[in-house]
Amino acid sequence: MSSLSMLHLLPGWLQLVLFAYWAVAIVLLIMDEREPAVTLAWLFVLVFLPFAGMVLYIFFGRDWKVVAQRHHWIERLRHKEREEMAPIYARNAGAHERFLREWAADMAVPIQRAITSENVSALLPAASIELYHDGAHKFRRLKEDLAAARRFIHLQYFIWERDRLTAELVPILLDRLAAGVEVRIMYDWIGSIRYSKTELRQLSSAGAKVEADVTDLLRINYRNHRKIAVIDGEIGYTGGMNIGQEYIDGGDRFAAWRDTHLRLTGQAVAALEKLFAARWFEQRKDRGDEDLFGPAYMPAPDPDAVATGTLVEVAAQGVEDPWSAARRAHMVAIGQAEESVWIQSPYFVPDYSVYDVMINAALSGIDVRLMMTGIPDKPVALWAAQTYYRKLLDAGGRVFTYQAGFFHAKTIVVDGAVAAVGTMNMDQRSLRLHKEMMLWVFDRGFARQVADQFRVDMESCHEVTLEDVLSVGRLRRFRNQAARLFSNVL
């Protein structure tokens, strides 16, 4: 006897409750504007798991992107971003003219145009860009910059651990606080939940403003995965590294840690400060902290910047953004490639839009290469990734798994001419759910650096072959396919 046919056995009031529940569930699903297959899957869960299904849906299935865009403060924030960034974009307007002269009909033009349209942003010149491929060099430089801060320090990280590295950073920050430097720190609540907050409380007591980001349980599925440091409006950092000793030496879990991060100076730092200021506003919108967009926190005007700087633009996305700009920039870049697309990511559990554009490129004869970790921090994610290899290999793509430690870099280089470094993984959580960012650099010299490091990394990789895929036994294949079912939460 089916559960529906048993309804008449329930008390009348309970039947009414169930019918009301189903009505609400159906309305919620229809209003989410999802793909029909996803809507039907959640409908099945909600109907056959009454109430428990609703809990699962609210935490993991609800499309908070649609909900967030209805909030009045979102439009306030966007208006403020446009208003405060307008003078910076205006004084660097020549960057776009220079870009069009240098790139003309090149594939870089549609990539940049898409980012600008999706983010309502603009190209900005960086006075310098330094690329780091290991934590030791990156954190040595960061500590030097923090120690030299004169006005403010803004730090935003997905994970803030408590270990040897933080024990070195905290005294520097305390010293700067004592010197009158403003210190603001944001860490993702879930990303950092397992680490002691003793040092952060110490900083807070000394005058730092410390915020745990995304503490709303209803949005637990939407994390802030960005990594940003801005110092005095003059220096900025972003990339794959969080705050923790493991990003230097691999920690207790790995023999080594391979990552990519960058440091930039000049007008382009405004793009990072914009993201920090916007998130700070979102977190503290009821407390009046809306001034971080102001001139005191942005780079000072530089009349020579446009002529001499490296042109960059940030593709950023989050639950409140309608276009998922970082994901779409990748899709446009892959689709526009004329020779090659080389992608690095620790995980490979893509959504089908990204997966299909990669396959299309490979079928078109483009040199499509994916590099990911072969030594996982989450075995289930690696198992799921292995189910995506076959089709990409059949199309002519190449897959490399890094074997010299944990691989955590997030980069893309197109035609050896344009590259991006940032925080977005090639998995569905990063591509669809998290707050992410990728810094696109329209400079052939920088792209060569990223491509050269890709080649160096290949020496520490196993190249996955079709024979490898076909040799997987039935039990492992079943395990991998079962892992793939959880793609949305990996």
Q: In Å, what is the CA distance from 455 to each residue of 257, 291, 342, 458?
A: 17, 44, 10, 5
**Residue-level pLDDT at 219:** 76
Check whether residue 279 and residue 414 sit in a common domain. no
pLDDT higher than 60, residue 65: no
334-372, pLDDT tens digit by residue?
999 999 999 999 999 999 999 999 999 999 999 999 999
Q: What percent of the chain has pLDDT over 90?
A: 75
Question: Cα–chain-centroid distance for residue 10?
Answer: 48
- Mean pLDDT over 34-50 rounds to 69
In this prediction the pTM is 0.90
In a domain, 479, yes or no: yes
Q: Identify the domain containing residue 449 by its residue range.
A: 325-489
The answer to whether residue 4 sits within a structural domain is no
Q: Are residues 294 and 329 in the same domain?
A: no
Q: Are residue 84 and residue 212 in the same domain, yes or no?
A: yes
Same structural domain, 430 and 361: yes
Whether pLDDT at 232 is above 90? yes
Q: What percent of the chain has pLDDT over 70?
A: 88
In angstroms, the CA 234 to CA 223 distance is: 27
| 22/47 Cα distance (integer angstroms) | 7
Residues 296 and 329 occupy one common structural domain: no
Let me know whether 256 and 294 are in one domain.
yes
Of 308, 340, 375, which residue constitutes the final position of a domain?
A: 308
Beta strands (DSSP E) in 84-181 are 124-126, 128-132, 152-157
* pLDDT tens-digit map of 237-276: 999 999 999 999 999 999 999 999 999 999 999 999 999 9
- Let me know: does 385 contact 348? Beta carbons within 8 Å: yes
**Shared-domain flag, residues 144 and 277:** yes
Whether residues 479 and 377 share a domain: the answer is yes
C-alpha dihedral (242, 248, 251, 254), degrees to nearest 10: 100
Residue 197 reports pLDDT greater than 70: yes
> Looking at the domain assignment, is residue 352 inside a domain?
yes
Alpha helices by DSSP H, 286-419? 305-308, 325-336, 352-363, 379-386, 389-394
Q: How would residue 2 be classed by pLDDT, with cut points 50, 70 and 90?
A: very low
Angstrom distances, CA of residue 447 to CA of 89, 115, 454: 24, 18, 11
CB 274 within 8 A of CB 227: no
Question: Is residue 458 domain-resident?
Answer: yes
Task: Say if 410 falls within a structural domain.
Answer: yes
Question: Is there a single domain that holds both residue 230 and residue 350?
Answer: no
Q: What is the pLDDT of residue 135?
A: 98
pLDDT score for 118: 87
Domain count, the chain: 3
The whole-number pLDDT of residue 1 equals 46
CATH code of residue 443: 3.30.870.10
Average pLDDT for the chain: 91
**CA–CA distance, 462 with 405 (Å, rounded to integer):** 13
φ, ψ of residue 267 to 5 degrees: the values are -60, -30
Residue 265 domain-assigned? yes
Same-domain pairing of 87 and 222? yes
233 and 252 co-located in one domain: yes
> Domain for residue 13, yes or no?
yes
CA distance linking residue 275 with residue 310, whole number of Å? 20
Across residues 326-336, what is the average pLDDT?
97
Cα Rg for the chain, rounded, in angstroms? Answer: 23
Pairing of strands 152-157, 228-231: antiparallel
Token digits of residue 116: 């600008």
Same domain, 144 and 226: yes
